[in-house]
Amino acid sequence: TLDVTLRPNTLSGTITDSYSKQPLANVQVQASDTISATTDAEGRYTLAGVPENVSLTMTAPDYDEATGSAQRTTTFDGTLRPNFVEGVVTDKQTGEPVAGATVKAGSASATTDAEGRYRLTGVEEGSTVEISTKGYDAATGTPDATTLDLALRSNMLTGTITDEYTSQPLEGVLIKTGSVESKTDSAGRFSLEGVAENAVVAVSVEGYADVEQKITELKPLELALRPDVLQGKLVDATTAQPIKNAAVLVALESNGTDVAFTRIKNSTDGAFTLDGAPEQGFLKVLAPGYKKFEVELKVGEIPETIELEPFAAKALYITAAVASAGTDYVAQYFDAIDNTELNTIIVDLKSDLRDDLGLVYYDSQTPMVKELKTSADYVDMPAFVAEAKKRGIYTIARIQLFSHDNALADARPDWAIKDGDTGEVYADRPGPGIRYAWLDPWNQNVWDYNIALAVEAAQMGFDEINYDYIRYPDSSDLATYGQEYIFSQPTDPKNNPEAMYNNIAQFMEKAHRATNGAGAFMSVDVFGRVSLKASMPISQDISRMAEHSDFVAPMIYPSLWWVGYLDFANPTAHPYEVILGTLKSADLLFEGKYALQRPWLQDHTDPWQGSRVIEYGAKEVRAQIDATEDFGKASGWMLYDSANTYTDGALKPE
């Protein structure tokens, strides 16, 4: 017998998708160059003439090639891994398809069509898909088998910016967030790419209030910007001539400090531009020689031309002690003003009495005064101001600055000048029981203490703040000045007078800004001799000081001038000529400056002149007033008598 064993030479099987396990049609199954088959719709194939041991290669479009080995078998099932990824890219916020997005996975790339669809081929197993396009945050994802749909967050903010009042589009508006920015076109439109999630967008353009807005969703941004620039022209209400010098400001409250401020100096047209003005508040104009202008801000109701009414103060002065005597006693001064040409009252904020010199005579709420306990509730200052305003009286608050403030010098001796011999607080002692302590003009705390009082007084309603003793101590020997007085820094009037002059000017600049910003004018008192030229070591120089004040007030009392002044053997006997001549001399120092001249006039008799004493009465006081008014350039005058007893006969009736 012959037994024969026949080996089958056919091989069949099924090819499926390795992810879905579904059969794959059209897979090319190849055993050799001459032996191959293609799977049918069920993924089945059959090979004939197959050797006993055979290696198979399986290929299909969009699938990785696979190999297998069939040994002594008639069946072989295989799997292919798909190497494509497809999906849809949409807008995360709107759900709309995103066309034109670039989709990448390794070296494979594609672009989404109009419906947001894409298809990547040749994707390696485990690849991360990256999607990017203009106006959207980039996104990544890992496919679920062959599918990956992604929703992109738009980072493109679009919108339109207009004027709140006119609704007209605004060109050139800057829209910025982080490091990205854009500007509006002529139609007010903008596109800002790269906006982060929950970003805060800043919108700004010159002439309008800045706006910041948090972006929680990227829908078109429609913003109306409020103009915050006030422009206008200041003119004299009588002559229509432009105003040269003025502070223009806006405060949120009538008695508040400024939130927007500008100053014009030596203007030829009176024009001003005020940036940063709020939507609501009070516009104020402080021009030396004119009444303060104030109007509530209302859209469309601010005049382009503001007419200022000329005003010249005609004042008498009272001490804080007199003011503390009560309303009935003070009424006599108010009545005198009501019944005469006077229109202004000056009152000390600090005591001039020996026992409490410098004590603030009202219940000050400034932090430094409260901390140092340097005030007493002796005068109801708000009531004082209210009564004056009711009568139409201009009010000036006088502040002793670097001298005549023992209260502050004793509370803070480290802020005071020291005596070169004793090391104690330096004080002038002109007579028994009299002590005038000196504060250090270099000390910034002294500056801040007094500026705070000025601002507080302005907020109480005072029209003007007057600083006296705005100087260094006097001395006849400049060479030994630095040994006679010990300051907080080297002080040398002989070799470095500029530092001293500049220090006074710097204080004034700071005080002037703060005082005007609180809605009040500022004036400073200077020695009469300073009307002729700058004076050392007191460091008063009108040409510098007049740049940082509304008024400079020389104390040009006739009795204080030396024999031979203006060729008079006794200047006290010539009040008209002395006042007129001195005002003319000082006028040269005011030329082109910001401040106006307003002199202190003598309404008292000085007894210290011996045989040259002239009893001052109505005639002598009137002569000084006439000289000031005949001069024609002074912004009023102020009568001084330390006893506060004034010569009624010198004044014209109302």
pLDDT confidence tier of residue 162, bands split at 50, 70 and 90: very high
Q: Is the pLDDT of residue 2 over 90?
A: no
Q: Are 396 and 378 in contact (CB under 8 A)?
A: no
Same domain, 253 and 147: no
Same domain, 468 and 516: yes
pLDDT of residue 153: 93
pLDDT of residue 310: 98
pLDDT of residue 301: 79
Average pLDDT over residues 126-146: 94
Q: Is the pLDDT of residue 491 over 70?
A: yes
Same domain, 48 and 90: no
Residue 556 lies in a domain: yes
pLDDT of residue 648: 87
Instruction: Work out the percent of the chain whose per-residue pLDDT is above 90.
Output: 91
pLDDT of residue 611: 86
pLDDT of residue 351: 98
Q: Is the pLDDT of residue 367 over 80?
A: yes
Same domain, 512 and 607: yes
Same domain, 424 and 473: yes
pLDDT confidence tier of residue 8, bands split at 50, 70 and 90: confident
pLDDT of residue 9: 86
Residue 4 lies in a domain: no
Chosen domain end from 152, 185, 212: 152
pLDDT in tens, 266-278: 999 999 999 999 9
Average pLDDT over residues 179-189: 96
Residue 331 lies in a domain: yes
pLDDT confidence tier of residue 302, bands split at 50, 70 and 90: confident
Dig out the tokens for 625 from the structure: 């007033």
Q: Is the pLDDT of residue 129 over 70?
A: yes
Average pLDDT over residues 422-431: 95
Alpha-carbon distance of 415 to 425, in angstroms, equals 9
Average pLDDT over residues 55-59: 95
pLDDT of residue 548: 99
Q: How many CB atoms lie within 10 A of CB 197?
A: 11
Q: Is the pLDDT of residue 86 over 90?
A: yes
Same domain, 452 and 343: yes
The pTM of the full predicted model, rounded to 2 decimals, is: 0.81
Alpha-carbon distance of 507 to 490, in angstroms, equals 18
pLDDT of residue 53: 86
Q: Which residues contact 272 (CB under 8 A, 6 or more apart)?
A: 230, 231, 232, 233, 234, 246, 248, 262, 264
DSSP 375: B
Average pLDDT over residues 498-522: 99
Average pLDDT over residues 497-509: 98
pLDDT in tens, 524-538: 999 999 999 999 999
pLDDT of residue 3: 77
Mean pLDDT of the chain: 96
pLDDT of residue 242: 98
Same domain, 144 and 277: no
Same domain, 390 and 522: yes
pLDDT of residue 307: 98
Which CATH number is 516's domain given?
A: 3.20.20.80
Q: In what order do the strands lie in the sheet with 53-59?
A: 36-38, 28-30, 53-59, 66-71
pLDDT of residue 5: 65
Alpha-carbon distance of 121 to 118, in angstroms, equals 10
Instruction: Tell how strand 418-419 and strand 485-486 pair up.
Output: antiparallel
Q: Which amino acid, residue 237?
A: A
Residue 110 lies in a domain: yes
Same domain, 148 and 173: no
Q: Is the pLDDT of residue 218 over 90?
A: no
Chosen domain end from 282, 308, 334: 308
For the chain, counts of helices (H) and of strands (E)? 11, 41
Domain housing 254: 230-308
Alpha-carbon distance of 358 to 400, in angstroms, equals 7
Higher pLDDT, 571 or 3: 571
Q: Is the pLDDT of residue 7 over 80?
A: no
Instruction: Work out the percent of the chain whose per-residue pLDDT is above 70.
Output: 99
pLDDT confidence tier of residue 518, bands split at 50, 70 and 90: very high
Q: Are 428 and 473 in contact (CB under 8 A)?
A: yes
Chosen domain end from 152, 178, 204: 152
Q: Which residues contact 485 (CB under 8 A, 6 or more apart)?
A: 417, 418, 419, 420, 426, 438, 472, 473, 475, 491
pLDDT confidence tier of residue 73, bands split at 50, 70 and 90: confident
Alpha-carbon distance of 71 to 384, in angstroms, equals 118
Same domain, 215 and 259: no
Average pLDDT over residues 415-428: 96
Q: Is the pLDDT of residue 282 over 70?
A: yes
Q: Is the pLDDT of residue 597 over 70?
A: yes
Say how many CA atoms lie within 13 Å of 272 toward its Cβ. Answer: 33
pLDDT confidence tier of residue 70, bands split at 50, 70 and 90: confident
Residue 188 lies in a domain: yes
DSSP string, 18-63: TTT--B-SS-EEESSSS-EEE--TTSEEEEES--SEEEEEEE-TTB
Residue 187 lies in a domain: yes
Same domain, 167 and 137: no
Residue 2 lies in a domain: no
Q: Are 408 and 415 in contact (CB under 8 A)?
A: yes
Which CATH number is 51's domain given?
A: 2.60.40.1120
Residue 627 lies in a domain: yes
pLDDT of residue 1: 75
pLDDT of residue 550: 99
Instruction: Give me the number of domains the chain comprises.
Output: 5
Q: Is the pLDDT of residue 6 over 80?
A: no
Same domain, 124 and 187: no
Average pLDDT over residues 57-82: 93
C-alpha torsion angle, residues 374, 379, 382, 385 (rounded to 10): -120
Q: Is the pLDDT of residue 609 over 90?
A: no
